[in-house]
Structure 1
Amino acid sequence: MSLNSIISWLKPHEMVFFDLLESSASNLVDAAKHFEAEFKSRQTPGEWAGMRRKMKDLEHAGDEITHEIVDRLNRTFITPIEREDILHLAHCLDDVVDCLDGVCERLVLYKITNVMPTAVELGRLIVAGAEEVKPLIGHLRNMSNGKDINKRIQYCNELENQADAVYHAALAEIFENPKDPIELIKWKEILSLLEDATDRIELVSKVVSSTVMRNA
């Protein structure tokens, strides 16, 4: 039996990596939706604790999936796609949830009272991006490289561009009239985490794109 035949026979047995990546993408969608819903509806410091507890549960769930992926990679000789791509995707998906968890932590620690509308808009863009990432990860199963995947990748790029514009507008807002330098520092950190989340989402779409192109 040739090496290519052996690889073709072995690969289907490692489809669990796709299952795990899809679970991580689903967890990301849940985290993003939870964040957006709670972020735009809560305004007092005492209300942030519940939001943070739920987000911490989602963050732990994402960590468990990532650890399972890493563990299986260490025990698997043949993987359905490059192990570097699997690892990169796993960490990027997990990083987005980590960013949202970091924001929730700071909302509690900093006792944030008034939420910036621009920050809420970043939350909405993160949800939109997460909802695109989930089906993109699904394309890895059959390596389809059609119009659907190209549209989704392009949309992720457009969302990241919108997020950059919103982020810079938010920075301009807090620096324009810095009445309280402490509040400025708090919001700059929160905004940076939200912007980083959108960058990671776009990175996931780029990794999926390059992976599909190499394997189609």
Structure 2
Amino acid sequence: MKELKSGSNLEKVLNAGHFAFTGECGPPKGANVEHLNEKLNHLVGVVDAVNMTDNQTAVVRMSSIAGSVLMMKKGLEPNFQMVCRDRNRLAMMSDVLGAYAMGIRNMLCLSGDHTSFGNHPEAKGVHDIDSMQLIAMVKKMRDEGKFLNGEDIDGPPKLFIGAASNPFGDPFEYRVFRLAKKIQAGVDFVQTQCIFNMEKFREFMKQAVDMGLHEKCYILAGVTPMKSAGMA
């Protein structure tokens, strides 16, 4: 077994060689948390951790940190998401420290959907740093106890660092190399996009195994239930 980096439940499950189950929950588009609590109740005792999304699809919602704290009150472990679209590096580092201080131990580093897809298409995307740089920044904060400028951190955030991986994007032959770059940047685990093409996913995993990437980070395959015939 590897030495634990965060001590989170998700990390412990994966480190022990078990099959981990995670869920996902979006915060409300408002301050009313009644429906959020209803959704979280369905996940209690069922999953090892739950993704709390960060303004997914560029739609304004309650913050991921607030949603994660509400989740912990239910006894669930959050996988706190952060996108590069909405914050510069100062705000990102500030939120990383705040999330850790509130008891959050897992983090998913993402680029974020373009604002043109959301409910404020005129909003400017920040993208001060990209998802690769975000991963490296959080790793530096955790492992070296340093801010991006090299200054010391009084209490480093010991987070289990995650990222997303899309095995199906074009050009397909570059997908596994992008995963390798995220691992090199410092990611501990990845969650793939939802899998609808098993043949392509098998090929992606074969390439990842051939490169030894499965031994350098945990790979969680994305599965989603069909909510309607139209979704299928």
TM-score by length of 2: 0.24
Higher helix residue share? 1
Higher Rg: 1
Higher relative contact order (CA 8 A, sep 6+): 1
Higher strand residue share? 2
